[in-house]
């Protein structure tokens, strides 16, 4: 929500707030900029805009609804289009509010049903007072910080830097029963394409283990959901047990590129996925740490022990 006012004269304010479908990510060496989705449906209806896309590889459906309204002299007007002009009088502000809702679905069998389902959630928020939405947002974050904050004595910049890093871990913490984990760059950049490394279990999971153990459990479930693929990885290379990939993504196969650019832009051969087998031990170690911290016997019986056994078979 923003407030705009002309300070010195009457003027015309032009607003453009469409959904950008030209978003790309940095591809591999030979790919250039890469688009990860196909647009299935896009349009404007019910005083809002919508976008339905399907991801290229896994065929997930992502639905996006957005709308905005403006308030002048206490009157709220819901915009019927993504572009409009407003005539402003000097010194009289206009308040512009944009609300959006994004949701993903596995598979793309019924896009119209997905679109309507997401619209209902969007509509509730769109017609809820903005201050109520803001207060609910603040309350949710306060609950997270109550169990996540770490306070330091010393210079103020140390405390700020620490909280900045905690924030970046919290915004990407998954709670989706193992569908995803936390990538090496969290949500802060495109590096490594969001792939999951050993960093997740050794460097990031311990934080959640003692603040939000259910999120730590989700990270381990991510590995368990890909255990069969890890068995296949081991078998292909002549090992027993399970061998987890150095870079993991959707299904658990090896995602490490064979070639990449170094910091000087030189193309170099990549060997890390062939040499850094400690990733499998790192995951087993994280399972054991989770159990020591939580004494979650149910998790161990259903998932944890199998991860430990298959890791042991790999190393034996």
Per-residue pLDDT 10s for the chain (316 aa) are 999 999 999 999 999 988 888 888 765 555 567 788 999 999 999 989 999 999 888 889 999 999 999 999 889 999 988 889 999 999 999 999 999 999 999 876 788 999 999 999 999 999 999 999 999 999 999 999 999 999 988 887 999 999 999 999 999 998 899 999 999 888 887 778 889 999 999 999 999 999 999 999 999 999 999 999 999 999 999 999 999 999 999 899 999 888 887 778 788 898 888 899 999 999 999 999 999 999 999 999 999 999 999 999 999 9
Burial of 277 (0-12, 13-18, 19+ CB in 10 A): middle
Phi, psi of 167 (to 5 degrees): -55, -45
Identify the pLDDT of residue 90: 95
Identify the pLDDT of residue 149: 95
Task: Give me 293's structure tokens.
Answer: 């911290």
What are residue 13's DSSP bridge partners?
A: 86
d(CA 300, CA 76): 55
Strands (E), the chain: 2-4, 11-16, 25-26, 33-34, 37-45, 48-55, 61-72, 75-78, 83-88, 94-105, 259-261, 267-269
d(CA 180, CA 58): 13
User: Are 65 and 44 a contacting pair, CB within 8 Å?
Assistant: no
Which residues, at least 6 apart from 24, have a Cβ–Cβ distance to it below 8 Å?
A: 33, 34, 35
d(CA 245, CA 248): 6
Residue ranges of domains in the chain, CATH in brackets: 2-128 (2.70.98.40), 172-315 (1.50.10.10)
What are residue 102's DSSP bridge partners?
A: 64
Q: Is 81 helix (H, G, I), strand (E, B) or coil?
A: coil
Identify the pLDDT of residue 129: 95
Identify the pLDDT of residue 20: 85
Q: Is 60 helix (H, G, I), strand (E, B) or coil?
A: coil
CA distances from 49 to 13, 103, 127 (A): 21, 15, 15
Identify the pLDDT of residue 27: 59
Identify the pLDDT of residue 28: 56
d(CA 25, CA 7): 40
214: left (phi over 0), alpha (psi -120 to 50) or beta: alpha
CB count in 10 Å sphere of residue 17: 16
Identify the pLDDT of residue 32: 64
Identify the pLDDT of residue 31: 55
> Which residue, 287, 288, 311, is CA-closest to 239?
311
């Amino acid at each position: 929500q923003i407030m705009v006012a002309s300070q010195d004269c009457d003027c015309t304010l032009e607003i453009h707030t469409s959904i950008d479908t030209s978003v790309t990510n940095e591809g591999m060496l030979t790919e250039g900029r890469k688009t990860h989705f196909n647009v299935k449906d896009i349009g404007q209806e019910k005083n809002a805009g919508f976008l339905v896309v399907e991801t290229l590889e896994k065929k997930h459906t992502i639905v996006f609804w957005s709308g905005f309204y403006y308030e002048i002299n206490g009157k709220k007007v819901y915009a019927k289009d993504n572009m409009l002009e407003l005539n402003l009088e000097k010194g009289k502000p206009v308040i512009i509010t944009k609300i959006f809702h994004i949701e993903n679905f596995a598979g793309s069998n019924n896009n119209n049903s997905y679109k309507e389902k997401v619209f209902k959630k969007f509509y509730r928020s769109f017609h809820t007072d903005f201050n109520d939405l803001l207060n609910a947002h603040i309350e949710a974050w306060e609950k997270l910080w109550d169990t996540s904050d770490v306070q330091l004595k010393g210079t103020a910049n140390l405390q700020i830097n620490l909280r900045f890093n905690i924030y970046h871990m919290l915004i990407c913490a998954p709670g989706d029963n193992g569908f995803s984990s936390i990538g090496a760059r969290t949500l802060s950049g495109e590096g490594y394409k969001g792939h999951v490394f050993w960093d997740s279990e050794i460097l990031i999971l311990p934080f959640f283990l003692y603040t939000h153990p259910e999120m730590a459990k989700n990270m381990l479930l991510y590995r368990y959901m890909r255990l069969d693929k890890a068995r296949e990885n081991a078998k292909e290379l002549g090992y027993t047990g399970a061998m987890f990939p150095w870079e993991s993504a959707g299904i658990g196969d090896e995602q490490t590129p064979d070639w990449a650019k170094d910091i000087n832009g030189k193309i170099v051969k990549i060997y890390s996925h062939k040499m850094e087998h400690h990733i499998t031990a790192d995951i087993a170690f994280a399972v054991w740490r989770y159990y020591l911290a939580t004494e979650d016997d149910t998790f161990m019986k259903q998932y944890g022990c199998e991860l430990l056994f298959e890791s042991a078979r790999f190393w034996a």
